[in-house]
Structures are given as C-alpha cells and as structure tokens.
Amino acid sequence: MARSEKKMINFAELKPQVNPKYSFVGIEKKRGKLIFHLPKGFTRDDPNIDGFDFKCELFFKLYKILKIIQKIYQEKGYLYKNIKVNDRDGVLNQEVGKEVVVKEDQESIFYSKLDALDNILDIYDELKILAFVSRLSKSEVIDYGKIHRYLHKAIFLSNGAIFIDSIDASRQQISYEASDIVAMYCYLFSEIQEKLGENVNPEIAALSTRFREKYIGDEYSLFNETHYPLIIETLRDALEIIDKYTALKDIDYWDFYDAIEKFLFGELDDTKDGKIWGFNNFHSVWEGMCLTYLLKQTSSCFVSYLNSRYIASEVIAHLRYTDKIIDMSNIFHVNGKEIFPDAVVISFQSKDDRSNSRISKTLYQIEKVKIWNDLRYYTSFKCNKYQLKIAYLNQNYELENHTFYELTKFCQLEGELLKVYSLPEGFFSYWEILDDFNIEQLDMMKNLNHVFYLALKFGILSSDRFFQRFIDYILGSESLLKDNIFYLSLFRDKDRLRSLKEINQIFGNFLKKIMSQISIQIIDIKYANFDYYLNPGNREEIKNRSIRKQFVYEYLIQNYLENHQTIVRSWSINSEFWLPIYRQNLPLFTPGAKYMDNYVRLTGVNIMKVIDSYIEG
C-alpha cells in the first residue's frame, strides 16, 4: 500500500476562491482539486490571498473559530447531532461528514471530513505523555537505610553476611530513544499549537525539540512553504522506523501512533467531491464574532440591547443589565411576534459621526497639586487642562496625607506624574464640565470614574437628588452627607463646600449637554458585500428582507422613548449595517458609500481584525 502517495492538506496547492453568493467557508474538493472558500469581504484581486502563509494562517484561525463556535453551541444546547469520527484514515464515508446542526431551524453549522488536527489535539494528555517517557529502572545508588525491606530477597552466607542481587527502586529517567513515538507526537502537537497561537508546556516543548533535532533539523518548521513537503515525507519515514523498531507496544503507544498516522496519511485524495471541512453558513459565525467584539469594546451601560444567541456566556456576563442607561431588552415584539435587531447601543456624535461609546486606550498623565483643604488631606490634581479632585473609599484624615500616594500603589509613577489608562476601583473623580464638552472629555470621564459619568451608568437621568441617589449606589445604603467622604472632598470649591442644591444643578446642566449629543444606534450584522447593497437590481429584495425591519425597530424604540423620561425623547435613531471587508492596513471600521439618503449607514468591518480579536479571547 503506497501510503506515501496520499497526502493531507498542502497549503501551497490549496486554491483560494471568493464567491459573493456562496455562504460556505472552508475547504471543498472540486474536480479532484482542493478549493479554499474565503469569507465574504476578501477580494480575488488581492495578491496576498494566494500565498502559502496567508492560506495557512487563515486556515488555523478558522479552525480555532470552529472550535469556539462548537463549544458555544454545545453550551447553549443548540446542537442537533455530533457524529464522532473513528475511521482509521481520518475520513468519514457518510455524505454529511461530521456535521453540527442548530436545533431551531436545522441550519448546518459546519462539515468536517478532515480530522487530522482533531486527532492530534484531542488525545493530548500531559500526565500520560510525561508518564510514558518515565521509566522504572534499577537504581545504582543504594540506600542502606532501607536495606531491611529487601531481606526477603537475600541469600544468607555462612559467615552471617547477606547477598542481594539487585535493588529495584523508582528513578525518573527520560529515555527519548525508547519513547520517540511520544516525542514525535509532541513535535506535531507543538507545531499545531504554535499556529493556533497557544502556549506549550516546557516539558512537552523539550520533547518536541529533541525529536526535531534527531529526525528533522532544528532550523526547519513544519508549516513552511519551502520545507513542508520534505518534512511530511521525513515524518512518514520516521513513523515507519519508530514503529518497526519499537518492541513493546501498549495501548498508549497505539493512541499516539493512530493520531500521528491520521495526521500524516489522511486520505483526502480518496474523498468524493464536496465539502471537506468548514462552515456551511458563515453568517451566524460572522454575527457572533462582530457582536462579541462590540460587547468587549463597548461599556456595558451603553448597550441597550444585544442579541446574544451566538455569544459565549462568559462574554455575555460582561453585559450587566443593571448598568444600562436605557434597557430595551423587552420591547421588540409586534402583534405577539418577537422581532430582534442584532444590537442597540447609545452613541455619541463626533466629527466622523462614529459611535464613541466604545472603550478607548488613552494614557492620562495626572499631576498632584499641593493645595491643602480643611479636611487635613489633599485631593487636588491636574490632568490636561482640567483641575480635578480624586478621592477614594478609604480616605483617612492623617495630616498631609495626599491621595496621590494611594494612587501610586496601583498606577505607573514617573517622577511626580501618575500615568494611567483608568483609575482603580474605589477611586472617584470630579471636575467642572466645560462649555466645549466633547467626546474626548466624555471618554476621560469614563476612564477616570467621574461621578457624573458613573451616575449615567447607574441610570440616573434626572438632577433630582442626584448626589443622594449616587451615594446610595456607591455605599449601598443611605448615608449622612455631612460626614460623607465624596461630598466633603470632591465638591469643595476653593474655601467653600458646594451645597447639594448647587451640585444637583451642575449635574442637570451636564445632562443637558450630553443628552443633546446622544443618539440611538441600531446595528445589524450583514454577511454580504457592499456591491450587493449598492446594486439597484437588489433594491426590492433588500427592502423586503432588511429595510422594513429597520422601520419596525425604529418604531418600537421611538414608542419606548416617548413613554420614558422627558430627557430621552429627543434622541435621534439611526440604523447601521456592518459588512465584512478586508484589505491590508485597513482600519477596523470603514464608512461605505451613501445609502438610502443615509437612512441606513453601510460600514465596512475589517474581518481579519475581528477574527483576531475573537480568537484572542
């Protein structure tokens, strides 16, 4: 049986293809050739997509996404069936292969007739590997303190002496020659983990290195365009040699051998034409990735609604409904029928008309200002053009104690400057809101825990008893304001303490400034290209499938705002479609061409940046 003529995936021979009308993403066999169907957003005229490294990197990223998706669907109970693979060549003969189906609409999520990687990763057992290469051997070191334990093996001589032929004692001894099958497995496992961006245990990595040095050469990598065919053949020869000269083969040996054999000799050439591996419908995957990114990059208080059906539970946990400024989770139903947008977020208008409620990474330099107040400690700081106060929950009254020194326990210190991206938990700030209020100042308020921003998070949209209500949220109970640390330290203006009436009025003025810049943004994730929406021939289809739903969403939200507090009734409502797009050096978001007189905004989302964020966790 000429197994060497059979081959697993060679990324150099994998033909990339972009089909704007095809929802399958993955590998398909067509007329004897392997086609790599790329997600929408990629373009055939991109010279990079036919490169070995690009195809290899994208394949492993999609493989990792598939595992994440499968875990999410199993956790949510969506899976209809999950056929296990036990065919020795790593290929199922069934037409559907290894298929995952969502129960709701019987939608197939992915096919897998390629289990070469699964077999390597699934049998990984660190304890079994390390135990396999540890051998029980005869020890040359005699522990005379334990000699009495071996008297039953002794021969008693006539002079009263005893003779013991040998002492069996446990000794951990790594024998790489005797365990080359494990070292070979560790090599393949380490190479795959490297492509998946995962860490490898140092002991496993050491076994991998030993195998590489002995059989391949330290300078060669498996997934390299130049070395790949040669290394595959070298590994196949090495497997045959190891198998030929290994005398004792237990069940653990055969587990490793079978996994390696399926990786090296998976019979893709023998499969029929059709889908080999991948996602049958990438739309739900794209939706889950985009919404996961949105949730990770947006303060939870600004997410009024999110469709979480394709999002992992640990990510959803970030979305705490008690933090919402406006909660729209129960408003999307018409005539007894539920109808859901993908996301509704509170957005702030800016120069480029993009949402700025998303988390930013700005490094703030905070300088202490030594102005002593009559509370016998210091809370005055300067950041950019703002004079601010910072206090913390456990503020004490020691003479000349400055909040600055408490912050140094948590923040980066350079000379007399603190450099922070955000204030630690338990620290709160306040400064005057200037007339030129903008998104940058709002961002600073968010990161430096300005008490007005935190009030928004708690849903306080009225100036009535602002500070009393805020204290209730912070301390969990009614507090005597005359003794309250925030009131006494944050709201001192030079030599006087602001009254509660004055503080509430200032907060009311802040609300007027910020509310005039707020809009409601309805986001729908679309798995389609820009050309589809800009083609006049698709206008009626788009109206029936998408635009009418946007009108319904807007109607329901408008009704909700009308019945809500007066301050939110003037908020505008905008719709936005997120479409996949990819080119090198493209930013995360790219505004599209004007569409429907800007009633719906088309936004290109860099699919590779979203993928990278998704698999990084």
Task: Indicate if the pLDDT at residue 367 is higher than 80.
Answer: yes
Q: How many residues does the chain have?
A: 617
Percentage of the chain beyond pLDDT 90 is 23
> Based on the domain organization, do 496 and 373 belong to the same domain?
yes
**3-state SS class at 211:** helix
Task: Indicate if the pLDDT at residue 300 is higher than 80.
Answer: no
| The pLDDT of residue 341 | 93
Residue whose pair of structure tokens reads 């709701």 in the numeric block: 104
> Based on the domain organization, do 333 and 457 belong to the same domain?
no
CA-nearest of 20, 66, 24, 60 to 40 is 20
Read off φ and ψ for residue 464, nearest 5 degrees: -65, 115
| The pLDDT of residue 614 | 94
Q: What is the pLDDT of residues 69-78, one digit of tens each?
A: 888 888 888 7
| The pLDDT of residue 378 | 76
Residue 90 inside a domain? The answer is yes
Task: Indicate if the pLDDT at residue 343 is higher than 70.
Answer: yes
Residue 47 inside a domain? The answer is yes
Q: What is the pLDDT of residues 13-37, one digit of tens each?
A: 899 998 877 788 999 888 888 899 9
**CA-CA distance, 612 to 615, in Å (whole number)?**
5
Contacts of 500 (CB under 8 A, 6+ apart): 467, 468, 481, 487
> Based on the domain organization, do 229 and 107 belong to the same domain?
no
What share of residues in the chain are helix, strand, coil (percent, to 5)?
40, 20, 40
Alpha-carbon torsion 552, 554, 559, 560, what sign?
positive
> Beta-carbon neighbour count of residue 346 at 10 Å?
22
> Which of 281, 309, 327 is the last residue before a domain boundary?
281
**CA-CA distance, 360 to 447, in Å (whole number)?**
9
> Based on the domain organization, do 444 and 462 belong to the same domain?
yes
> Beta-carbon neighbour count of residue 488 at 10 Å?
18
Range of the domain at 594: 284-349+517-616
Task: Indicate if the pLDDT at residue 163 is higher than 70.
Answer: no
> Based on the domain organization, do 82 and 192 belong to the same domain?
no
Residue 148 inside a domain? The answer is no
> Based on the domain organization, do 234 and 293 belong to the same domain?
no
| Pair 12, 228: CB distance under 8 Å | yes
**CA-CA distance, 515 to 569, in Å (whole number)?**
10
| The pLDDT of residue 411 | 86
Q: How many domains does the chain have?
A: 4
**CA-CA distance, 433 to 436, in Å (whole number)?**
8
Residue whose pair of structure tokens reads 């569409």 in the numeric block: 595
**3-state SS class at 328:** coil
Q: Supply 583's token pair.
A: 């080119």
Task: Indicate if the pLDDT at residue 608 is higher than 60.
Answer: yes
Contacts of 469 (CB under 8 A, 6+ apart): 455, 458, 460
Q: Which long-range contacts (CB under 8 A, 24 or more apart) does 514-518 make?
A: 514/348, 514/437, 514/442, 514/456, 515/461, 515/567, 515/568, 515/570, 515/571, 516/570, 517/348, 517/349, 517/437, 517/439, 518/346, 518/347, 518/348, 518/349, 518/568, 518/571
Q: Supply 92's token pair.
A: 């199922």
CA-nearest of 373, 189, 154, 173 to 263 is 189
| The pLDDT of residue 45 | 83
Alpha-carbon torsion 273, 277, 280, 283, what sign?
negative
Residues paired with 524 in a beta bridge:
577
Q: pLDDT category, 239, cuts 50, 70, 90?
A: very high
Query: HSE of 508 in the Cβ direction (CA atoms, 13 Å)?
Result: 10
Q: Of 361 and 577, which is predicted with more confidence?
A: 577
> Which of 256, 281, 306 is the last residue before a domain boundary?
281
> Based on the domain organization, do 258 and 311 belong to the same domain?
no
DSSP H or E segment with residue 365? strand 364-368
CA-nearest of 357, 301, 342, 356 to 579 is 342
What is the residue-wise DSSP string for 223-261?
A: S-TTTHHHHHHHHHHHHHHHHHH-----HHHHHHHHHHH
**CA-CA distance, 454 to 323, in Å (whole number)?**
9
| The pLDDT of residue 139 | 44
| Pair 546, 518: CB distance under 8 Å | no
Q: What is the dihedral of CA 253, 256, 261, 267, to 10 degrees?
A: 130
Residue 376 inside a domain? The answer is yes
Task: Indicate if the pLDDT at residue 44 is higher than 60.
Answer: yes
Residue 413 inside a domain? The answer is yes
**CA-CA distance, 575 to 308, in Å (whole number)?**
19
Residue 153 inside a domain? The answer is no
What mean pLDDT do residues 560-579 have?
A: 81
> Based on the domain organization, do 372 and 497 belong to the same domain?
yes
Residue whose pair of structure tokens reads 């595959």 in the numeric block: 232
> Based on the domain organization, do 237 and 99 belong to the same domain?
no
Query: HSE of 398 in the Cβ direction (CA atoms, 13 Å)?
Result: 8
| Listed range (145-154, 189-198, 405-414, 532-541) with the worst mean pLDDT | 145-154
| Pair 215, 234: CB distance under 8 Å | yes
Residue 542 inside a domain? The answer is yes
| Pair 442, 461: CB distance under 8 Å | no
> Based on the domain organization, do 480 and 567 belong to the same domain?
no
Which whole-number Å values give the CA distances from 512 to 327, 462, 476, 565, 569, in the listed order?
Answer: 20, 10, 27, 13, 13
**CA-CA distance, 604 to 590, in Å (whole number)?**
5
> Which of 515, 544, 563 is the last residue before a domain boundary?
515
| Listed range (298-307, 316-325, 542-551) with the worst mean pLDDT | 316-325
> Based on the domain organization, do 237 and 277 belong to the same domain?
no
| The pLDDT of residue 503 | 87
Task: Indicate if the pLDDT at residue 94 is higher than 50.
Answer: no
Residue whose pair of structure tokens reads 């922070």 in the numeric block: 420
> Based on the domain organization, do 421 and 553 belong to the same domain?
no
> Beta-carbon neighbour count of residue 294 at 10 Å?
22
Residues paired with 431 in a beta bridge:
388
Q: pLDDT category, 528, cuts 50, 70, 90?
A: very high
Burial of residue 524 (CB within 10 Å: 0-12, 13-18, 19+) is buried
| Listed range (110-124, 152-166, 314-328, 499-513) with the worst mean pLDDT | 152-166
Residue 35 inside a domain? The answer is yes
Residue whose pair of structure tokens reads 């109607």 in the numeric block: 555
Query: Strands (DSSP E) along 462-598, which ranges?
Result: 492-493, 496-497, 518-525, 572-581, 589-591
CA-nearest of 234, 241, 242, 243 to 264 is 234
